[in-house]
Amino acid sequence: MFQLIGVTDLIYQLKIVQSNTYRGVMPIFIAMILYFIMTFTVSIIMKIIERKMLNE
């Protein structure tokens, strides 16, 4: 149901993209944005869950 994406998986794919495209910084920047979006979304969801648990 859920797919887990870890930092190591993201870095591994980053290295593959860097070696195939010969671009150094752009894949790192994209991976950084993807990781930020994932962690920010999860933190917001966890805050909502915590509020609901505290109100019960």
pLDDT in tens, 19-44: 998 888 888 898 889 889 988 999 99
Distance of CA 11 to the CA centre of its chain: 11
- Please tell me the predicted confidence (pLDDT) of residue 8: 84
The pTM (predicted TM-score) of the whole model is 0.68
Q: Is the predicted pLDDT of residue 2 greater than 70, yes or no?
A: no
CA geometry: angle at 10 spanning 38 and 4, to 5°?
Answer: 55
Q: b/e per residue, 26-37, with b = 16+ CB within 10 A?
A: ebeeebeeeeee
Q: Is the predicted pLDDT of residue 11 greater than 70, yes or no?
A: yes
